[in-house]
Every structure is written in structure tokens, then in C-alpha cells.
Amino acid sequence: MTATAEAGGADGRPAPGPRRRAAALLHRRPRLRLSLLLTAPLAWLVVVYLGALAAIFLTAFWSTDVFTGEVVRQFTLANFQTLVDEPVYRTVALRSLGVAVAVTVIDTAIGFPMALYMAKVAKPKYRPYLMIAILAPLWAAYLVKAYAWRVMLSQGGLLDEVLKPFGLSSPGYGLPATVLVLSYLWLPYMILPVYTGLERLPDSLLDASGDLGARPVRTFRSVVLPLVYPSLVAGSIFTFSLSLGDYITVKIVGGRSQLLGNVVYDNIGAANNLPFAAAVATIPVVVMLGYLAAARRTGALREL
């Protein structure tokens, strides 16, 4: 007792040090704890992420001085007026939308059966290897993959060789090639969420449906699809938004076709018209907001 008495308080325990006192304070004040924990990430989100978006949106209402090339910080709707008046921009916007929709449809059609096979048919011990096979392309650089496709799609390239026996040829460079390569690039982003959704679906539900008299097609329509629907929406948000913003693939395999991303890129670079680039960049943002709102209405976002 004498040994501990020197360091001890009234109850014989050692007096708490400053770190202990701070920990105790945080324990008593959950709100303080929460604010300390969230301040840094929230600051990042607000300043860097939302701030950048706000800056783009604001810039879109400015203009460029024709002679000096300087940005004129004065409110004007001229950029948006151009977007509406010039038919070429409407064409580019609709083309981008079409590409994004096509990529999403193709990835759903290919990705769903693959995810289904991985989650419900393949033996569990093979699943990690299948998962690696799906993820492996993500480890290669984007440009490498796009250029690999450029080589394959070229005249007399691999695709021509493979398709020749069937009397077909490579689609060459253009929009179909762009859709093809984008579908390839974003496929893992569709498979992963759908796989997760299917894996969470208990096998007993499938057994129960069969037990109650449903054939496989009926089970798929009435049980699997409604329960995996949120995951499909999640995957489609990836494939859709990634395709909508892409400008590199189309530059490499798209021939002369232009998408929204190219218009933005050219206006930042060659044309040096930052405000107009910002105005064009708001189009995919608005489209995505509309897409998310539609997804929300179906209740799919609640379960993400």
C-alpha cells in the first residue's frame, strides 16, 4: 500500500494522465468525438469535391475575351445559348448518351450471366480465382488496354483474322469500336456489384421457389431479378457514368467521332475556352443527376 500511495489518488488508483483524461472526455462527449472524427474527411468532400463541381458550374456562366483569351468574370448565358443553338452539340450529346446506354446494356447482358455463374454455379473454392480473372484487367493501364484494342481492331489485325472464316471483318475505327472497347473496359464494374448482390441472395430462397412449384425461369423473374435489381442499378451507374465522361478511348479507336469528353478536352486545350468547356461538362453531370433520380424512384438506392 505504501508503494502505491505516492502515485495514488484518494481511491488508491494512480492519478490519470493527460491522455487518459482526454480519452475520458471523448468518451463522455460522443458529439465531440464525432466532429473530431469527421472534420477532415468532410472538409475534403466539401472543398475538393463539391468545391470543384461548384467551380465548374460557376465558370460555365463566364465567357472568354475573344482577343486576349482571358476569362471574363461576368455572368452570361452565352455558353448555354451556344449549346442549344448549335445542332452539332446536340448531336454530340445524344451520341454520348447513346454510347453510354449501349455500353451499359452490353455490360449487363454479359456481366449478369458471368456474375450468376461465379456466385451460384461455380464451386466456392474456384470463386477467388474467377474473381482474380475478372479483376486482372483492372491492373493493366487504361492506355495500354485501349492501344491493344487499337491494334486488334486495325485492318488485317487480330479481329480481322478471327472473323474472316465467318465472312466478317473488324468493325474498324469508329463508334462501334468505341462501344466495344468501353464495354470491355467497364465490364468489371458491372460484374462486381452484381456478384456481391447475388452472393448475398440465400440459396434457400431459390430452393423455396422451386419447392413451391416455380421453374427456373420463373424463379429468376420473381425472386432473383427483384432482389438483385439494386446491384444491377449500382453497376449500371458505373458503366453509364464512366462511358459518358470518356474521351481517351474514342480518341484511340473512335476514328473521327467525337463525344462530350472530346469537346470539353478540345475547349480546354486547343480552343482555350474554359467557360465553354465547363458548360459542356455540366451536361453529363445533369444527365447523371437525372439517372440517379430515376434510380432513386425505383427504390434501388436504398439498398446500396
Partner 1 sequence: MFSVMPASAVRIRDLRKTFGSVEAVAGVDLDIGDGEFFSMLGPSGSGKTTVLRLIAGFERPTGGTIELGGRDVTGLAPFDRDVNTVFQDYALFPHLDVLRNVEYGLKVRRVPKGKRRERALAALHSVRLDGMEARRPGELSGGQRQRVALARALVNEPKVLLLDEPLGALDLKLREEMQVELKSIQRRAGITFVFVTHDQEEALTLSDRVAVLDRGRIQQVGTPAEVYERPATEFVAGFVGTSNRIGDVCVRPEKIHVHTEGGPQGGQGGGEGLTGTGDREALGTVAEVVYAGAVTRFVIDLESGDRVVALQQNLRTSSMDVLGHRGARVRISWHETHEFHVSGTGPAPAPAS
Min separation Cβ 216 and partner 1, Å: 9
**Nearest to partner 1 of 193, 230 (CB atom):** 230
What are the angstrom distances between the C-alpha of 10 and each of 7, 14, 15, 16, 268? Answer: 10, 9, 9, 12, 71
Min separation Cβ 108 and partner 1, Å: 20
**Nearest to partner 1 of 58, 205 (CB atom):** 205
Cell digits of residue 173: 475505327
Min separation Cβ 210 and partner 1, Å: 4
Placement of cell 473454392 in the chain: 125
| Chain residues in the site for partner 1 (CB under 8 A) | 202, 204-205, 207-215, 218, 222-223, 226-227
* DSSP summary character for residue 64: E
3-state SS of the chain: helix, strand, coil percent to 5? 75, 0, 20
Min separation Cβ 205 and partner 1, Å: 5
**Nearest to partner 1 of 74, 204 (CB atom):** 204
Name the 3-class secondary structure at 8: strand
**Nearest to partner 1 of 41, 124 (CB atom):** 124
Placement of cell 478536352 in the chain: 265
What are the angstrom distances between the C-alpha of 91 and each of 84, 268, 282? Answer: 11, 20, 16
**Nearest to partner 1 of 269, 299 (CB atom):** 299
The Cα diameter of the chain in Å comes to 98
Min separation Cβ 230 and partner 1, Å: 10
Compute the distance between CA of residue 127 and CA of residue 130 in angstroms, rounded to an integer.
5
Min separation Cβ 232 and partner 1, Å: 14
Nearest one of 99, 91, 52, 84 to 247, comparing CA atoms = 99
Min separation Cβ 208 and partner 1, Å: 4
**Nearest to partner 1 of 43, 212 (CB atom):** 212
Nearest one of 91, 97, 51, 56 to 281, comparing CA atoms = 56
**Nearest to partner 1 of 70, 211 (CB atom):** 211
Q: How many C-alpha atoms does 234 have within 13 Å on its Cβ side?
A: 19
Min separation Cβ 227 and partner 1, Å: 6
**Nearest to partner 1 of 6, 203 (CB atom):** 203
- CB-neighbour burial class of residue 288 (10 A; exposed 0-12, middle 13-18, buried 19+): middle
